[in-house]
Amino acid sequence: MAGELPVAGKVDFPLYVVSDEESGGVLVAAEGVEGFFVDPEEEPPEVAFLRAHEVEKGRRRTEDAVMTVMNRQREKIGEYFIGRVVLGDTGVEELGGNISRVAYRVFGNRCEYPEAERIWPRWASGIALEEGEWVRWPANYQSAWLHVVQNSWFASNRRAARYGVEEVVHLDGGQIFTKSGFYCALGEAVNGPGGYFGSNLDALADCISSSFGEGPPARIVWRNFQASQVSLDRDFLDSIVGLMREFRVDLATC
């Protein structure tokens, strides 16, 4: 049900792998992370990796760190370019012979979507995403869901293009209450559950005009459009409709 937070599945594999971009050497591979998916105004001094499966001994820092998000099948599904990291003051903590916590000071980029920390384990579970699954998360999670969609799409070496084959794409305005929700709905309608087809107006234009894939959908039918008119900013809707007309996408509202 929309608005209820889905139960997060247990992670028992290295979900996050931090490595040196140049050498490929792994600094740490861990099941969880704290302090990376945070509001920029609330960044803690250290990022802690939890329940580590691997830690490179002797290496305390790197100037070009990359954090890869891996699924249960050990496939890359996401990627963050972090930059400089240095082993933190608390260092490596062990519990019962296992590495329970490894802390680093991060001087580069973190993810500004705190909710993504809960969404990534779902994507990594190995269980196929379901149609409309994004709607079942609270509305304030939709920006983070869209972030995960976009990050995973390009980390998996897919292009900003249409991969689906449906002649007619259907949108349900009864499910679209936010701008992020519109892009989640459109990406799924065009490219299936977890699919990407833009995250802002410029990105949407790139997807429609791309020479890769199958090009723009032949026709978009936006049902319950009046519901979207109530929920979404009028200027945003006008921009979407205008963009579709500019690229000669047949958009029908009802």
**For 150-181, what is each residue's pLDDT tens digit?**
999 999 999 999 988 888 999 999 999 999 99
What's the whole-number average pLDDT of the chain?
Answer: 91
- The pLDDT score that the predictor gives to residue 141 is 97
List all residues 6 or more positions away from 186 whose beta carbon is below 8 Å from its beta carbon.
Answer: 169, 171, 197, 198, 204
Residue matched to tokens 């937070």:
5
C-alpha–C-alpha distance, residues 62 and 41, integer Å? 25
Distance of CA 134 to the CA centre of its chain: 11
Distance of CA 19 to the CA centre of its chain: 20
C-alpha–C-alpha distance, residues 103 and 44, integer Å? 11
Q: Would you tell me the crossing angle of helices 234-246 and 201-209 to the nearest 10 degrees?
A: 20
Q: Is 158:214 a contact under the CB 8 Å cutoff?
A: no
pLDDT at 212 over 60: no
Q: Assign 249 to helix, strand or coil.
A: coil
Mean per-residue pLDDT, 227-247: 93
Please state the pTM of the whole predicted model: 0.93
- The pLDDT score that the predictor gives to residue 58 is 77
Partners of 142 in the β-ladder: none
Mean per-residue pLDDT, 219-237: 94
Q: Would you tell me the crossing angle of helices 179-191 and 142-155 to the nearest 10 degrees?
A: 40
